Structure 1
Amino acid sequence: MIRRPLLVAFPLLVVLTGCSAAGQIRAGFGDAATQPLVDLNVRRDQIPTVLLQAQANPYDRRNLNRCSTIGAEVRRLDEALGPDRDEPARPDGSTLSERMQDEIAEQALRAIRDATTDFIPYRSWVRALTGAQARSKQVQDAVEAGRLRRAFLKGLGMKQDCAPPASPAWYRPTGRSQR
């Protein structure tokens, strides 16, 4: 197998490229190494409440008659989902060397995750039998519902002539509502 030399080469490469990548690997090592616990459905991440609410009723309009309440709900969804696609990319000011270190760290963590899950025979069957696959689908459904809810809220914000974040980042209110 080629993975064992990769596991030896990545730490050496990380040491040679700098401590930024080493810090990232240290921070993500726990998640990568405990991936089998996720596959066995022993470790389960909690789904944020805002995503569960979006899953229950993505088109709920209660208490959304003001731009401030729409914006607050969009911010809650942004916290759970990360920035929306309409948000401009934030310039991080990183150099090519720093971006390369980030990529090396990601590849090292991927190699660690792959190595820890390779020992599980019939992994897809194990995930199905333990319920991990069903849990993964629940999380994906909640994320999809959250994205749908955020898009709905931003459309509602545009209709009410709200400024971002209650509407898409590119939208400029005409000044007729702004409640």
Structure 2
Amino acid sequence: MTVRQALSVGLALWFKTAMRPFVLLTTVSLLLSGCAGMGGFGSGVGAAATAPLDDLNLRRQHIPTVLLQAEANPYDLRNLSQCSTIGAEIRRLDEALGPDTDEPPAQDGSTMSERAGDAASDAALDAIRDASTDFIPGRSWIRRLSGAEQHSRHVQSAIQAGRMRRAFLKGVGMNRNCAPPAAPAWFRPEGGSQR
């Protein structure tokens, strides 16, 4: 019997026995998703419940092109001779990575009770994700054999390269006396920004 066949037999047995509590937990979660104070809980249940698909490498996290380019050459300055082009590249990175640490947090107008509800729904989604992945026997080996661990490392490498490139470009923008977003948010160009 090959490793792949043994893995298939093991997964079939696992689905038959271990998925009963998981199905119950998912059903309860779906019922809770109808609660008014749970925000985006209902939309996150599907992703949390299907987390084992990531471990089996049946579903992969998409890596944006801008992060793959940053991973290939984080210090590339081709076509970035103007402040406007540097700012445009930083905005592309912001879309993929989220706001930089020098940016103030966005005010979404939510109340404290809404933020508390969001925190509770995030905790519930984490519990569902943990419960769904804890049922996988030998999870670390399955992640290695399926290639999911390698892809996860690639995603983290691309994110790190994107952050490094964004910081580099903001430094270049500061050096060229550019206004934000081509420089850090706190930077004020001297004598007017270059174009």
TM-score normalised over the length of structure 2: 0.82
* Partner residue in 2 for 1:77: 93
Query: Which residue in the other structure is 2:7 paired with?
Result: none
Please identify the structure whose Cα radius of gyration is greater. Answer: 2
CA separation of 1:44/1:64 partners in 2, compared to 1, >3 Å: closer, same or farther? same
Q: Is 2:124 aligned against 1:108?
A: yes
Q: Tell me by how many angstroms 1:82 deviates.
A: 0.4
Q: 2:36 aligns with which of 1, 5, 19?
A: 19
Q: Given that residues 14 and 101 in structure 1 are in contact (C-alpha distance below 8 angstroms), is that contact kept between their aligned partners in structure 2?
A: no
How far is the alpha carbon of 1:177 from its aligned partner?
4.7
Distance in 2, Cα, partners of 1:160 & 1:20: 48
Residue type at the aligned position of 2:72? A
Q: What do residues 111-155 of structure 1 show as CA deviations (whole Å, max 9, x unaligned)?
A: 111111121001111111111010000000000000000000000
Corresponding residue to 2:107 among 91, 94, 98: 91
Question: In structure 1, what is the equivalent of residue 9 of structure 2?
Answer: none
Q: Is the 8 A contact 1:58 1:145 kept in 2?
A: yes
Q: Which residue of 2 aligns with 1:49?
A: 65
Contact 2:177 2:190 in 1 (8 A): yes
For structure 1, the 5+ residue unaligned runs are none
Q: Where do residues 101-140 of structure 1 align in structure 2 (5 Å cutoff)? A: 101-140=117-156
Instruction: Give, in whole Å, the separation in 2 of the partners of 1:177 and 1:9.
Output: 56
Tell me which residue corresponds to 1:65: 81
Q: How many residues align?
A: 172
Distance apart, 1:10 and its partner CA: 6.7
- Alignment partners' CA distance in 1, 2:90 and 2:43: 29
Percent identity, please: 63
Q: In the TM superposition, what whole-angstrom CA distance separates every residue of 1:76-105 from its partner, at most 9, and x where no partner exists? A: 000000000000112222222111100111
Q: Calculate the aligned-residue CA RMSD, in Å.
A: 2.0
Q: Which among 159, 166, 174 is matched to residue 190 of structure 2?
A: 174
CA distance in 1, matches of 2:56, 2:157: 20
* TM-score between both structures, scaled by the size of structure 1: 0.88
Between the aligned partners of 2:45 and 2:32, the Cα distance in structure 1 is 16
C-alpha contact 1:10 1:104 (8 A) present in aligned 2: no
Unpaired stretches in structure 2, ≥5 consecutive residues: 1-20
Residue 71 of structure 1 aligns with an amino acid whose one-letter code is: G
- For 1:80 and 1:110, locate their aligned partners in 2 and report how far apart those are by CA, in whole Å: 23
Letter of the structure 1 residue corresponding to residue 36 of structure 2: C
